[in-house]
Amino acid sequence: MATTVLGEQQVHAAHGEKTGLWSWLTTVDHKRIGILYGATAFFFFLLGGLEALLIRIQLARPDNTFLDPDTYNQLFTMHGTSMIFLAIMPLSAMFFNYMIPLLIGARDVAFPRLNAFSYWVFLLGGLFLNVSFLFGAAPDQGWYGYANLTSRQYSPGPNVDFWNLGLQILGIASLAAGVNFFVTVINLRARGMTMMRMPMFVWMSFITQILILLAFPVITVALILLMFDRFFGTHFFIPAGGGDPLLWQHLFWIFGHPEVYILILPAFGIISEILPVFSRKPLFGYAAMVFSGAFIAFLGFGVWSHHMFTTGMGPIADTFFSLSTMLIAIPTGVKIFNWMGTMWGGSLQYKTPMYFAVAFIAMFIIGGLSGVMHASPTADLQQNDTYFIVAHFHYVLFGGSIFALTAGAYYWWPKMFGRMLDEGLGKVHFWLMFVGFNLTFFPMHIVGLNGMPRRTYTYPAELGLDLLNQIETVGAFILTAAFTVFLWNIFKTSRKPRNAPADPWNGATLEWAITSPPPEWNFSEEPVVHGRDPLWEAKRQRGGPLPEPSPGTGAGIHIPNPSYWPLVSAIGVTAIFVAIMLSPKLGAIPVVVAVALTFFGLYNWLFEKGYSEFSTPGGGGH
Partner 1 sequence: MSDSAHTLATSTGLDSRKLAIWTFIGSECLFFASLISNYLVQKPRSLVGPFAHEAWTDPASGQVFEPIIEIPLVTVGTALLLFSSLFIVLALNGAQRGNRKQLLGWLGATLACGIFFVGMQVYEFNHFVHKGLTLQQNLFGASFYVLTGFHGTHVTIGVIWLLTMFVLALRRQLPPERAVNLEIAALYWHFVDVVWIIIFPVVYLIK
Q: Give min distance, CB of 94 to partner 1, in A.
A: 20
Give 250 or 539: the residue with its C-beta nearer to partner 1: 250
Q: What angle do CA 127, 128, 132 make, to 5 degrees?
A: 100
* CA 172 to chain CA mean position, Å: 15
Q: Give, as ranges, the residues between 122 and 161 that touch partner 1 (CB under 8 A).
A: none
Distance CA 101, CA 184 (A): 8
596 interacts with partner 1 by CB under 8 A: no
Task: Give the distance between the most distant pair of CA atoms in the chain.
Answer: 82
* Of positions 21, 65, 242, 460, contacts partner 1 by CB under 8 A: 242
CA atoms within 13 A on the CB side of 119: 34
* Of positions 228, 337, 431, 600, contacts partner 1 by CB under 8 A: 228
100 interacts with partner 1 by CB under 8 A: no
560 interacts with partner 1 by CB under 8 A: yes
Contact 169, 121 (CB under 8 A): yes
584 interacts with partner 1 by CB under 8 A: no
218 interacts with partner 1 by CB under 8 A: yes
Q: Give, as ranges, the residues between 375 and 434 that touch partner 1 (CB under 8 A).
A: none
Q: Give min distance, CB of 545 to partner 1, in A.
A: 30
* Of positions 108, 140, 380, 533, contacts partner 1 by CB under 8 A: 108
Contact 165, 129 (CB under 8 A): no
Contact 374, 389 (CB under 8 A): yes
Phi/psi at 175 (nearest 5 deg)? Answer: -65, -45
Name 110's Cβ contacts closer than 8 Å, sequence gap at least 6. 180, 183, 184, 187, 188
Q: Give min distance, CB of 313 to partner 1, in A.
A: 15
Total of residues contacting partner 1 (CB under 8 A): 59
| Total residues belonging to the chain | 622
* Of positions 213, 348, 372, 571, contacts partner 1 by CB under 8 A: 213
Give 225 or 277: the residue with its C-beta nearer to partner 1: 225
Distance CA 67, CA 264 (A): 32
Give 189 or 394: the residue with its C-beta nearer to partner 1: 189
Kindly indicate which of the ranges 150-158, 229-237, 480-488, 530-538 contains the residues binding partner 1, using the contact rule CB under 8 A: 229-237
Q: How far apart are the first and last CA of the chain?
A: 6
* Of positions 187, 349, 494, 499, contacts partner 1 by CB under 8 A: 187
Distance CA 37, CA 94 (A): 5
* Of positions 15, 31, 32, 189, contacts partner 1 by CB under 8 A: 189
Distance CA 147, CA 389 (A): 20
* Of positions 39, 196, 221, 586, contacts partner 1 by CB under 8 A: 221
DSSP-derived 3-state class of residue 386: strand
Q: Give min distance, CB of 540 to partner 1, in A.
A: 26
Query: Which of 118, 115, 137, 136 lies closest to 126 in space, CA to CA?
Result: 118
Q: Within 10 A of 484 (CB to CB), how many other CB atoms are there?
A: 12
Q: Give min distance, CB of 612 to partner 1, in A.
A: 6
- Helix extents (H) in 237-351: 245-279, 286-299, 315-327, 329-343
Distance CA 126, CA 129 (A): 5
From residue 245 to residue 284, what is the string marking binding to partner 1 with x (rule CB under 8 A)?
--x---x---------------------------------
Task: Please give the sequence-ordered ranges of beta strands (E in DSSP) within 114-254, or none if there are none.
Answer: none
Distance CA 170, CA 70 (A): 25
Give 172 or 289: the residue with its C-beta nearer to partner 1: 172
Sign of CA dihedral 232, 237, 241, 244: positive
* Of positions 7, 16, 136, 233, contacts partner 1 by CB under 8 A: 233
Kindly indicate which of the ranges 13-21, 78-86, 305-313, 613-621 contains the residues binding partner 1, using the contact rule CB under 8 A: 613-621
Contact 129, 139 (CB under 8 A): yes
Q: Give min distance, CB of 589 to partner 1, in A.
A: 19
Give 63 or 613: the residue with its C-beta nearer to partner 1: 613
Kindly indicate which of the ranges 224-232, 284-292, 322-330, 456-464 contains the residues binding partner 1, using the contact rule CB under 8 A: 224-232
Contact 129, 81 (CB under 8 A): yes
614 interacts with partner 1 by CB under 8 A: yes
Give 257 or 392: the residue with its C-beta nearer to partner 1: 257
612 interacts with partner 1 by CB under 8 A: yes
Distance CA 557, CA 244 (A): 57
Kindly indicate which of the ranges 259-267, 528-536, 547-555, 614-622 contains the residues binding partner 1, using the contact rule CB under 8 A: 614-622
Contact 478, 436 (CB under 8 A): yes
360 interacts with partner 1 by CB under 8 A: no
Q: Give min distance, CB of 510 to partner 1, in A.
A: 15
Binding site for partner 1 (CB under 8 A): 2-3, 106-114, 175, 178-180, 182-184, 186-189, 193, 213-218, 220-222, 224-225, 228, 232-236, 241-244, 247, 251, 558-560, 605-606, 611-614, 617, 619, 621-622
